[in-house]
Amino acid sequence: MKTIAVYPGSFDPPTFGHLDIIERSSRVFSRVIVSVAKNLTKDTMFTPMERVTMLRKLIRPFPNVEVDSFRGLLVEYVRIVDAHVVVRGLRAISDFEYEFQMAHMNKKLSPDVDTVFMMTGERYSYISSQIAKEIARFGGKIDDLVPPLVRDSMVRKLGGKR
């Protein structure tokens, strides 16, 4: 049976933690669609197109992974791409409450969609896009947090300041 999974998120920017989940999902599911949420209420460093472009470069080693974007409800998008699984990474207990609420809400909205959680690899468990942005803004080293192409894009966004 071919299982299509959607890995949704803000990916602002993609981190090594996201890449870990992408790589491992690619081994579990027949096809993985990494999908960038476009209608975020939060301020973002990168436009949706910029995030899609970075992700497309990062997923090149994984032939069964593709990158897309969506607007509106996640479950609607999942239905349109004919998937039944949503993948989310869990780093720590602190992620749980939000993820629990989202998974249950999505199940209520679309009972045939299941959320599958993957524990983010231990070495990536402290990484978040938010932390990477904050460190970069203050000129700190982010090489252990984001892939080189993301780091370079962040440095460019911040006007070359490191």
Between 9 and 48, CB nearer to ligand PNS:
9
Indicate the residue among 63 and 77 with the shorter CB distance to ligand PNS. 77
In whole angstroms, the minimum distance from the beta carbon of 33 to ligand PNS comes to: 13
Tell the smallest beta-carbon distance from residue 139 to ligand PNS (Å): 25
CB of 159 to ligand PNS, least distance (A): 25
- Continuous H helices in 6-158: 16-28, 48-58, 74-80, 93-109, 129-137, 148-157
Token pair 């959607």: residue: 6
* 104 given a catalytic annotation: no
Options 31, 51, 88, 91, the catalytic residue: 91
Catalytic residue among 10, 18, 35, 153: 18
156 catalytic residue (yes or no) = no
Q: Which residue in the list 25, 129, 133, 153 is annotated as catalytic?
A: 129
Q: Least distance from C-beta 6 to ligand PNS, angstroms?
A: 9
Q: Are 68 and 36 in contact (CB under 8 A)?
A: yes
Label residue 66 left, alpha or beta by phi (over 0 means left) and psi (-120 to 50 means alpha): beta
For 89, the 3-state DSSP assignment is: strand
Of 27, 42, 108, 156, the catalytic one is 42
Burial degree of 122 (CB within 10 A; 0-12, 13-18, 19+): exposed
Write the DSSP assignment of 104-143 as a string of letters. Answer: HHHHHH-TT-EEEEEEPPGGGTT--HHHHHHHHHTT---T
Q: Contact positions toward ligand PNS, by CB under 6 A?
A: 8-10, 37, 73-74, 102, 105-106
Both structure tokens of 52: 């899609």
Residue 20 in tokens: 């870990």
For the question of residue 18 being annotated catalytic, the response is: yes
Residues that are catalytic: 18, 42, 91, 129
